[in-house]
Structure 1
Amino acid sequence: MPQTTETQRAWRTVLARIESDLLEGVLGPGDRLPSERDLAADLGVGRSSVREALRVLEVMGLIRTATGSGPQAGAIVIAAPSGGMSTLLRLQVAAQGFPLADVVQTRLVLEDAVAQRLSTDPARDLAGVRGILTAMDADGLTAPEFLALDAELHYALAEASGNTVIAATMAGLRTAIESYVLEGSARIEDWDAMAARLRAEHHEIVDAIDAGRTDAARVHIRAHITGYYRAAGLVPETH
C-alpha cells in the first residue's frame, strides 16, 4: 500500500533528526540511538515511522539494529563511512546509469588523485595491490576474469590511498566500470595483445607509485584509462 504524504513526512522527520545529531557530533560511531519509543515521543511521530527511518539507515549502512536487550541491542551507529555512499551510488547506477563519458572523466579525476596521494606517501602499503597484479599475470584468464581483477586492482589502489570518499566512490562506480570495460572488450580484435598491454601498464603505474615518481604515475594512469576506452571504441576522445 503506497505511503501517504503524512507518513512519508513523518519518517523523513526522523531521518532529519538523526542526520542533524550526526553532523553536530551528538551521535558518532558506536553510539546507540534513542529508543523507538523515545524518538517517537520526542518528534511527535508514530513508532512505525521511526522503524521505517531505521530500516532506511540500516540499508544505507549507517546503523545496525539488533532485537532483545543488552549492550548490543537497539540501533547503533557503525563506523562504516563508505557503506551508505557506495550503496546509494550503486543504486543510482543501476536505476538510471551514467553517461560513459562522465564515468571516464570521474575516473580520471579520482585515480589521478589516488596516484598523487600514494606516490607521495612514504608509508604506502601496496602489498594487496601487488597481489592482484600477480593474479592478473596468470595465463589462461578469460576477458571477464581479467577485467574483474582489473576493477579490483583500481579499487585496491583507491583503498590504499586512505581517502575513504574516493574509495567509496570507486566502489559505487565499480559495477558501471566493469560493465563498460567488458562491453568494450568484445570490440577488441586481439584480446591477448590488449591483455598483455594492460598488464604492462598496470606494472608501470604501480612501479611509478612505489618509486615515488608522482608525475610519471599520474601520466601512466591517465594514459591507461583513456587508452583502453579509445581502443575499445567506447569514447572517441577524453580531455
Structure 2
Amino acid sequence: MDGQATPRAWELVLARVEADLRAGRLAPGDRLAPERELAAQLGVGRSSVREALRVLEVLGLLRTATGSGPTSGAMIVAAPRGGLSALLRLQVAATGFPVADVVRTRIALETAAVEVLAGAPDRDTASARAVLDAMDAEGLSVEEFLALDAQLHLALTEASGNVVAAAMMEGMRTAIESYVVAGAQAMDDWTATAARLRVEHRRIVEAVEAGDGETAHRLVRDHIARYYADAGLAHPRNGEDTAW
C-alpha cells in the first residue's frame, strides 16, 4: 500500500474533465458527453457523474440545462470568478484568517493592481471615481463608509484587469469589512480618520490617472498599513509589500 487514498468516483469525473480541458479536447462553449456516456466511460455510477457536475457548476466552470435538444446538458463556461469568490468567502466564514495575513495579502494584491492600472494606456477609473463621490456624502454611518471603502479597493483591482486578483479581493471582502469596522470602533476620532481616508483615496486614484505606478504602489501600501496600525490591529512586518 502506498498510503494514498483511493479517489472517490465523482473525483474521477472531475479529473477527466480537467484532463480534457488541459489537452484541448474541451473548451468553453463545448458540451460534456451525456451522463450515461460519461458514467460508462469512467466506470462510475450516474449519481457520481451528477455530483461532479454540481461541483463544477458551483465552481463557475459549468452550466447545466435540463430537457432535451441542442441547448440541454452540461456546457463548459469561462466564468470561474464567481465560484472562486464564493469558495473563498466560505473559507473565511468557516475558519477566519489572521488579520496580519489579510493585510499582507491585500497589500500584495492591491499594490500590484494599481501599478498595472497606472501603466495601462486605456486605464479606466470611472468606477473608482463614482465610489469616491459616494464616500463624500454627508451622514454616512461608519459601516456605510467602510462598505464603500471596500468597494473602492475592489473597483481599482477590477479595473486592473486581473480577474484572479479581483476574485480574491471579492472573496475576502467580508473579512476585510469585519476587520476595518472593528478597527474603526477602536479609534478615538472617527470623523478625522474618515477625512484622512478620503484624502488618501483621492491621492491614490490621482496617481493612477497620472500614470504614476510607483507612487500609486507606495500610497496604497501606506494607506492599508497605516489604517491597521492606527486601529491597533496588525500590519506587515518591517513594511514589507509581499503577502508572506
TM-score (norm 1): 0.94
Aligned-partner Cα distance in 2 for 1:71–1:204: 53
Aligned to 1:46: 45
Aligned to 2:36: 37
Aligned to 1:136: 135
Offset at residue 176 of structure 1 (A) = 0.9
Aligned-partner Cα distance in 1 for 2:27–2:86: 20
Offset at residue 34 of structure 1 (A) = 1.1
Q: 1:45-94: per-residue Cα shift (whole Å, max 9, x none)?
A: 00000001111111111111110023321111112132232222112111
Aligned-partner Cα distance in 2 for 1:136–1:229: 20
Aligned to 1:208: 207
Offset at residue 236 of structure 1 (A) = 5.7
Aligned-partner Cα distance in 2 for 1:154–1:175: 13
Aligned-partner Cα distance in 1 for 2:181–2:170: 17
Contact conserved, 1:230 with 1:237, CA < 8 A, in 2? no
Aligned to 1:192: 191
Aligned-partner Cα distance in 2 for 1:66–1:41: 21
The secondary structure found in structure 2 opposite 1:65 is strand
Aligned to 2:115: 116
Alignment RMSD: 1.5
Q: 1:11-67: per-residue Cα shift (whole Å, max 9, x none)?
A: 111111111112222222211111101110100000000001111111111111110
Contact conserved, 2:63 with 2:77, CA < 8 A, in 1? yes
Aligned-partner Cα distance in 1 for 2:24–2:97: 34
Aligned to 1:220: 219
Matched, 1:176 2:175: yes
Aligned to 1:103: 102
Structure 1, unmatched stretches of 5+, are none
Aligned-partner Cα distance in 2 for 1:133–1:23: 42
Contact conserved, 1:33 with 1:76, CA < 8 A, in 2? yes
Contact conserved, 1:81 with 1:164, CA < 8 A, in 2? no
Matched length: 234
Q: Measured at CA, do residues 195 and 94 of structure 1 come closer, stay the same or move farther in structure 2, by a change above 3 Å?
A: same
TM-score (norm 2): 0.92
Aligned to 1:58: 57
Higher relative contact order (CA 8 A, sep 6+): 2
Percent identity between the two aligned chains: 62
